Chains A and B, each alone.
Chain A
Amino acid sequence: MKSRLAAIVFCGTPIVSGSGHGLFAQAPAPDAPPVQTPAGLLESARAAFDAADFATAESNFQRFMDDYGQAEETREAVRIHTPLLAVCKIRTEKFGEALEWIARSFEDPKLDPAIADELSFFRGHCLMLQRDLPGAQTAFGEYWADTAHHAARRYEALLLFAHLYLSQDLPETAAEMLADQVPKIRAAQPEAASRGAVLQLHALMASGQLDAALALVRDQYPRLEEMTQPVAFQTMTLSLGSRFLERQRWHDAIVCLQRIWPREKLLSHQLGKKAEIEKLISDRGANPAAQSQVMQLEGILKRVEREIANFEKVENYDSALRFRLATAFQGLERWREAALVLEDMLVTLPPDPVVDSASLATIQCWIQIGRWPRAVAAADRYLEKFADTGKNLPMVLYLRAEALREDLQIAEAQLAYGDLLERYPDDPLAGKAAFMQGFLYLQQDDNEGALFEFDRVRKNYADSGLVEDADYWSGMALAFSKQYEAAREAMRSYLEKYESTGAAAPKYRKEAVFRVAVCAFSLGEYEESIDLFDQFVAAHEGDPLADEANLLLGDALCALGEIDRGIAAYGAIRPDSIRFFEDGWFKTGKALKLTERFDEMRTHFERFASLYPESNRLPEAIYWIGWNDLQAGKPHKAREIYWETLELHGERPDLHSMEDLILALPMAYESDGKAGRGELLRRLEQMRFQADNADRPTLALRCAWGRARLLSLEDPARGRAALLALQPEIDPKRHNPMIAVDCAEALMDAENFNLARALLTEVRKWHPRAIQKDRVFAGLGRLAEEDGDTEKALEYYTRFERETAGSTRLGTVRLAKARLQSESGDTPGARATLEALLEDSAATAPQKAEALLALGETYAASREWKTSLPYFERVYVAYGKFGELNARAYQGRAQALERLGLNAEALEVYEELAARPDLRSFPQTGEARAGIARLESFRRKPAAPAEVAPQPTEAR
């Protein structure tokens, strides 16, 4: 396209604005004339301009103006090219000169409006770059105000206007202006609005308007995908979040930090935007008419590239972001939330220093809320992720051990402390770990192990601050292992060592002094112990240890015959120390008994019964009162105290001692034999009747239950009937589980399974620690079996094993469990259960015999004949008196031997069975005879004597 300017110059035709792109309308470059002529200069300048070679164009235009601009002939050309030169000045960044040429352009009354539009915009640009900020702002303001101006440039002018407020350190004004304008331009120019939002956020933060900044972040977050500068917005959001953290505005910090994309997403998005801008520049770059747009885009591109470059330099962005979020939750003391956020970092992010620190914080947060298994798991994950490179490894190992210890996994904790010691023997935590190992040994009653570890602390970790603790607990370890001389010596040394330092009192002074006294007592050195206890009690009145001291003091005094002083010592024990208090009370009673002060003794125990009816030792106190009366030849009086106590306290369902009292009643009537039992039954019935009428249902129930128990001893059927009658009166939640369980067992015997199940279920529900738990699980298991619910039955039997392993019913339950396991095809499970029974020293002989037989039968059932043999044999060898079991065992062994083809041996076993007179009535004996007949041919023949050669006889 020929240059219109060139045509004008040569033809004198005025320029006509082309397609609205004013100065930048593209024209073809003619063949270049010689440079030095005016036309040549203009031609070459124009050509360069069209080719976007603004430096050359500027130079040539300037030369033209300088050399020929004053001539009359060139006036028109000057008028026409003045704006072009202005543009060249701008593009070559000669902004001061550009302003001059812009001003000159505006002197032209015929200046094309489109050209004027652009120059107006660039005037502001030049003023800005010349640091005439107010001037630039005015220029941009005027540009924006005129709605006839180019739309896209208007928005740019608006943003620059706002930006200039910031440049002039007027962020509040910028923020106010942008808050007003950005929403208005969003529909028409979303891209400009997004950049405006970025500026606005910056302005708000610069002016400290953090609430407004937060509101803007909330508002803009849904538009993040559209933003040209998301990195800028997000990094400012992160900064805002950090400021909220500093101000402990935790919720606000969380709102910010939730609205930040992960690094990869942000970078990817921004790089995408950058590519879009670059493409736009590329598409328009060659078009001189689009140069103002190109300049704008180049400006944006520069900013974007700078932001990307800065962003890429940020290390550990994702982990730092998450860490900040966790910090906000920690500030709110939301330890769970903090732990979950931090834990996710450990799982999802690659190892880096921030993740390392965060992982440690995770463990600490879990520990803070007592979630020990999670703390251990987090520590394990740390170990897996960081192996030996983690900078917090020793602390993690230590915390892991602590969490295991708190979770009562003592053996694992011990190993964990040991692991720390082995890997980091010189770490400051090693001393603590060694000490804790010692302490755990103490908890497991391994005093030797404890002493070893405490010694290690003294020798290897003298600076750990735990030597004093090690010294004291070493003394305690010696005391626990009954080495009283050594323990006393250790405690004295401890006191001497730490009292002589002149520093604060020894940490365990009180305990050490007490222990010295206890050691003296334990060694039988009563006089010394009395002095020491006296001193201790005087010095520590009201201390719990003083109560124990008084108890031992009383014992020592009584041992030396100073009964009254001993009783006084017992009497000084505070009721709050229940165990020592009751011990003291009963020892007082015993002392009164030994000194034959029977009246005092009776009164003493009467007071106990009156004041402490809830005590588990109430029956014991009643017993002694009764003993006293019997001693005085007043058996009726002895009995009355039981009835009086029952009358007084029997309505309180929480006093389980009442049931114990009732169970002790028969002893008080024993001396009268059958008549006494009859009298007792009558009194119970009478009290029950009276309680019923007086609306005292709990007492009535207790009496009825006591009566039923008594009846059961003589007539089980009557006893059971009496127990069955209790059922409607029992409230399993309130009443002693013993009553409910007794009733439930009676119901089971009467095959009233539904009611029995209901009772036992309620007992289990309301009394999970009841002593009768074993009976409950055994009963529920049996009931489930009745229902045919094998799975449920096994569940209850398993709970029985796990929760009541000390029960005398364990053997019975295990046999039942093994049977069910066998029936349901779980042969390995059944065998394991039976083997466990065999190893249980508390199992009875019949149970063991039955277990052996059952084991033999399981092996026989799976055709493991050889394995079954010893089990069968053990039954009749070791438990020969259990008839049916023996018969089955013989048969089982014989059949197994037959299967193995050992028919001779089988025959022997059959014969042994058949020969047992005590087993004749069992069917297996009949089958044994058939077996004998069948296997007769395999009978071992006795070995023939060796042949001897006949000796010649002497002839007569």
Chain B
Amino acid sequence: MKPHPAIPIAGFLAVLAWLAAPATGLRAQDVLHLKTGQTVPCAIEAVTDNIVTFRLPGMAKNAPPRSAKMEAVEFIEFAPLPGEAKVLADPAKAPPETLEKLWTDKSRLLGRPRSNAGALGVLHARALLRGDDPLFWQRAIVICDRVRERDWDEKVRHDARETRVQALIRLERFDEARKEVAALIAETDDPGLTISLDHALARADLRKLIALQAENPRWEEDDFVRPERNRLYHEAVDRFLRPFLFHGTRETEAARGLLDAAEAHAVAGNEAERRAVLADLLAIYPNTEAAAAARGQTDPSQTKTNPTDEAPKN
């Protein structure tokens, strides 16, 4: 059925004014917010940059939908889709298929002012990154690219860029990740992305170290393998330690870095260093998950900590 042709603005506004409902406590429909300040509850059928097509409450099913020019509309308040509220309440627990459906259904609204399509897209991308399939991570990049290009909300666009970096890190596309992190850092003080990138690079080095030592079990005797082995080991540890040394109050990341450094020392067979970083972890970040994981891995009395630990504190 063809939509009713757009009526002139003045007439349209008169109609809408007649239809405009007073604010009610419950809302289950989309709402057009006009530039006049009036609101029109309706069910949006389609929206473009120029025109919005909608059905009014109580309209007969076979009645043609109404339409209006977007120039009269301040913004559209879109009703949540089924399940959307629950997802938004706790995105980390939302099933991936739910997020996918929400994104699929809402992505057509990407870029519409006040639409949360972009935010849902970012949540969906993050859920994809929690999986183990590199194809999912690739898909996350595609979604983030759309959101960062088109969403109306600067914060959501920023979130999309950050999530994209996380996807690049997972895919070990480190050079690209580095460039994007550098660009993001220029815009924000938050070192979170740099820490993520450094951590991923360090884990990659650690994996290479493990593989190299497995391939070269007598690497100490090999004058040509030894330098590469030492480089991987030291660079991994240096990177793991960076959150602790330079962002020490970001306790979760710093503690994780110390635990990972201990793992690297263990891989390298450096027991003294391993005990030392575990001692630091337990002393400085005792209440973190990393410390809980580390407990029992070391006997701190064998490691230099505070020489006066046994002495009266004050």
Contact = CB atoms under 8 A, between A and B. Distances in A.
Interface string B190-225: 000000000000000000000000011111011111
Interface string A742-776: 00000000000000000000000111110000000
Contacts of B218: 765-768
B288 to A, nearest CB: 13
Contacts of A209: 314
Nearest to A799: B224
A725 to B, nearest CB: 28
A267 B221 CA distance: 55
B304 interface: yes
Contact of B304 (A211, A255, A332, A337): A332
Contacts of B283: 251
A250 B279 CA distance: 12
A258 interface: yes
B241 A766 contact: no
A342 to B, nearest CB: 10
B217 A766 contact: yes
A254 B237 contact: no
B238 A336 contact: yes
A337 B279 CA distance: 14
Given A249-B306, A251-B305, A371-B234, A768 B241 contact: no
Given A255-B284, A258-B248, A765 B216 contact: yes
A344 interface: yes
10 contacts: A210-B313, A248-B307, A248-B308, A249-B306, A251-B283, A255-B248, A259-B248, A259-B249, A765-B215, A802-B224
B260 interface: no
B276 A334 contact: yes
A251 B308 CA distance: 11
Contacts of A211: 313-314
Contacts of A402: none
Given A259-B249, A334-B280, A803 B314 contact: no
Contacts of A221: 249
Nearest to B285: A255
A341 interface: yes
Nearest to A221: B249
B18 interface: no
A325 B245 CA distance: 9
A247 interface: yes
B222 A254 contact: no
The 5 closest A-B pairs by CB, nearest first: A258-B248, A768-B222, A251-B283, A768-B221, A249-B306
Contacts of A210: 313-314
A251 B245 contact: no
Given A249-B306, A332-B305, 4 more contacts: A210-B314, A252-B306, A258-B248, A336-B241
A254 B218 CA distance: 38
A561 interface: no
Interface string A921-953: 000000000000000000000000000000000
A333 interface: yes
Contact of A340 (B217, B225, B242, B280): B242
Given A221-B249, A252-B306, A208 B284 contact: no
A799 B223 CA distance: 11
A940 B304 CA distance: 92
A768 B219 contact: yes
A189 to B, nearest CB: 26
Contact of B245 (A333, A340, A765): A340
Given A247-B308, A371-B234, A769-B222, A208 B314 contact: yes
B248 to A, nearest CB: 3
A341 B245 contact: yes
User: Among B222, B245, B308, which residue has the most Cβ atoms of chain A within 10 A?
Assistant: B245
Interface in A792-830: 799, 802-803
A371 B237 CA distance: 13
Nearest to B276: A334
Q: Could you say which of A211, A340, A767 has the most chain B C-beta atoms within 10 Å of its C-beta? A: A340
A209 B304 CA distance: 24
Nearest to A332: B304
Interface of A: 208-211, 221, 247-252, 254-255, 258-259, 325, 332-334, 336-337, 340-341, 344, 371, 765-769, 799, 802-803
A121 B293 CA distance: 55
B219 A340 contact: no
Given A211-B313, A334-B276, A250 B305 contact: yes
A877 B30 CA distance: 94
Nearest to A247: B308
B280 A344 contact: no
A39 to B, nearest CB: 58
B175 to A, nearest CB: 21
B306 A803 contact: no
A254 B284 contact: yes
Contacts of B284: 251, 254-255
B238 A249 contact: no
Interface string B244-278: 11101100000000000000000000000000100
Given A211-B313, A248-B308, A255-B284, A336 B219 contact: no
Contacts of A258: 248-249
A51 to B, nearest CB: 46
B70 to A, nearest CB: 41
Contacts of B225: 768
Contact of A249 (B224, B241, B308): B308
Nearest to B222: A768
A243 to B, nearest CB: 10
Contacts of A333: 276, 304
A249 B314 CA distance: 11
B20 to A, nearest CB: 41
B314 A248 contact: no
Contacts of B223: 803
A881 B215 CA distance: 46
B306 A251 contact: yes
A118 to B, nearest CB: 42
Contacts of A250: 305-306
B217 A769 contact: no
Contacts of A340: 238, 241-242, 245
Nearest to A258: B248
Contacts of A259: 248-249
A769 B225 CA distance: 11
A337 B248 CA distance: 13
A211 B314 CA distance: 7
B245 A337 contact: yes
A221 B247 CA distance: 13
Contacts of A766: 217-218
A768 B226 CA distance: 11
B136 to A, nearest CB: 31
Nearest to B248: A258
Nearest to B242: A340
Given A248-B308, A332-B304, A769 B221 contact: yes
Interface string B38-67: 000000000000000000000000000000
Given A221-B249, A254-B248, A344-B246, A248 B222 contact: no
Contacts of A251: 280, 283-284, 305-306
Contacts of A799: 224
Interface string B122-142: 000000000000000000000
Contacts of B242: 340
Interface in B286-311: 304-309
A266 to B, nearest CB: 14
A259 B307 CA distance: 23
Contacts of A248: 306-308
A254 B279 CA distance: 13
A251 B284 CA distance: 6
B242 to A, nearest CB: 7
A350 to B, nearest CB: 18
Nearest to A329: B245
Contacts of A803: 223-224
Nearest to A254: B284
